[in-house]
Structure 1
Amino acid sequence: MSRKPIDKQQPSQCRQAIWDEVRNKEDWTFTAKELDVMLDASTIREYLAALAKAGYLQVISEGKRGESNVYRLINDVGHEAPRIRKDGTPVTQGNGRLQMWNAMRIIKQFTPVDLAFNATTDEVEIAESEARNYCQALHRAGYLSVKTPAKTGLKGKPGSGQATRYMLIPTMWTGPQPPQIQRTKQIYDPNLKKVVWSKVEGGAE
C-alpha cells in the first residue's frame, strides 16, 4: 500500500490510525510492518516504541539485523489513542478542550463558568477565560447555539448581569475528539478530518 506523506496527516490522526491497527491485530501481537496504515515507517516505529515505554505494549521479541520488534498489546484503554511523548510520558496539552467537549454533551446548557467548573479535574484546571474562548469559537463554527444572550448588569448592582448561555447542538456532536482551534485561525474537526471553519472565509466550508 502506498503511504500518505506524513506532512499531510494531523498528529492525532497518525496516533489514532496506528492505535486502531494495534487493537485490531489477532491476539494483539504484531510487528510494525504488519500495521496497515498510510504513514511513514519511522513514524509507526516511533509511536510503538513510545507505547512500549508507557506500558501499553510489551516487546516480546527484539528485532535483530534490520528485523522489526514483535509487540503485544497489554493495556487496552479503549478506542482513543494514548497521547504520549516519545519517552512515554503523557501529553496533557489539549486535555482541557477534551474535558470541555465531553462536559458540553453531558450538561446540555451552560455558561462559560458552568463549563469551566464541570470540566475541571484534579489533573487539569479550566480557567473561565479558556472556557469562554472555546465556547465562542465553537459557536462561530456552528457547534453551539446561544440559548440566552449575555446581559450587562446594572451599575452598582453586582450579579445583576448574566453570561451567555450556550447549548451543544445535538447533531453537531461529531465524535469523541474535540474540535481544535488552530494557529492559522481555523477550526479543525479530527472526527470529520476536515477544517470546518476558517476566519479567512468567515464561515463553515
Structure 2
Amino acid sequence: MGRLPVDEVARLSVRVPRGRQGIWQTIRALAGGGGGAFTLPEVMARSAERSKETVRTYLRCLEAGGIVVREGLAVDGGAMRYRLVADPGPEAPRLRRDGSPAALCLGTEQMWRVLRMASPGLDARELSVTASTEEHPVALGAAAAYLRALHHAGYLAVVEAGRPGHKPGTGKRTVYRLTRCTGPLAPQIQRIRAVWDPNLSCHMGEGVVEGGHD
C-alpha cells in the first residue's frame, strides 16, 4: 500500500470528524497508508474523538476484522502498538465487534451506489429491489427513509410526486433523481437524524422530515 496523498493528510489537520470515520482517517494518516505503526494515545492526540473507550472499541473491531494487528508494547513499555495491514479505502470500515461487516451500513452503501447509476430516477420500491443482494437485502422502509433523508438534505430532486391511492396498492410512490453526487462514499443517516457526508466531512441539511408518500 502506498502512502496517503499529501492533500488527504493535510485535510486531516483541518477538519477531522468524530466517531469511527475520524478515527479511521487518523489511523490511515499515522500508518502512512499501511507502512507505519501507531498507538491508541497517538490516535487520541490526532483525532477529534475524545472518548478513549470509543477508540479502543473500534481498534478491537478492526483487529477482529483483520485490518490491524498488534505488534506488542512500545519500546518504553507504554501503549500497545498496532499496524495497519489492510486498507480498504477512505471510508471507515463498518464492523461489528466480531469483525464482521455491519449489514445496515452495507445496505446504505448499496443504495448509494444504485442512486449514482440511476440517471432517470427511481422510487423507494425500485431502490429496495435494485440495491438488495441475497446476503444483504434492503427493506422497503429503509429505502424510503434513505430517499427521504437525502432529498431533505439536498441530494435528490423529485421527478414525480407520489400520491395516495383510493385502495391499498393503487397509489404512486415518489420518484427521485440524484442531483448532487459528492463522491463514492455513501452519505449516512446518523442518530441525530441528520445526513453525514464522508466525502465532504460535514452534515448536510437540517434533519429528516418525517412523512410524505414514498
Whether the TM-score (by the shorter chain) exceeds 0.5 is yes
Identify unmatched segments of 5+ residues in structure 1.
Answer: 1-7
Q: Aligned match of 1:166 in 139, 160, 176?
A: 176
> How far apart are residue 130 of structure 1 and its match?
1.9
- Residue 29 of structure 2 aligns with an amino acid whose one-letter code is E
Secondary structure at the aligned position of 1:15 is classed as helix
Instruction: Report 1 or 2 for greater relative contact order, CA contacts < 8 Å, sequence distance ≥ 6.
Output: 2
1:67-146 alignment, distance < 5 Å: 67-108=78-119, 109-146=121-158
**What is the number of equivalent residue pairs in this alignment?**
189
Partner of 1:196: 204
CA distance in structure 2 between the aligned counterparts of 1:200 and 1:133, rounded to whole angstroms: 9
Q: Aligned match of 1:47 in 58, 75, 95?
A: 58
Q: Percent identity?
A: 32
Residues 55 and 174 from structure 1, CA distance in 2 versus in 1: closer, same or farther, beyond 3 angstroms? same
> How far apart are residue 136 of structure 1 and its match?
1.9
Identify unmatched segments of 5+ residues in structure 2.
Answer: 1-15, 210-214
Partner of 2:46: 37
Task: Give a deviation string over 1:10-60, Cα, whole Å, max 9, x none.
Answer: 3233333234225525x6231215557224483545433432222112323
CA distance in structure 2 between the aligned counterparts of 1:73 and 1:92, rounded to whole angstroms: 23
Secondary structure at the aligned position of 1:167 is classed as strand
Mean Cα displacement is larger for which, 27-36 or 47-56?
27-36
Mean Cα displacement is larger for which, 49-58 or 101-110?
49-58
CA distance in structure 1 between the aligned counterparts of 2:92 and 2:208, rounded to whole angstroms: 32
Normalising by structure 1, report the TM-score. Answer: 0.72
Larger radius of gyration: 1
Normalising by structure 2, report the TM-score. Answer: 0.69
CA distance in structure 2 between the aligned counterparts of 1:98 and 1:200, rounded to whole angstroms: 19
Contact 2:95 2:102 in 1 (8 A): yes
CA distance in structure 2 between the aligned counterparts of 1:65 and 1:50, rounded to whole angstroms: 26
1:21 aligns with 2:21: no
Aligned-pair Cα RMSD in Å: 3.4
CA distance in structure 2 between the aligned counterparts of 1:188 and 1:101, rounded to whole angstroms: 13
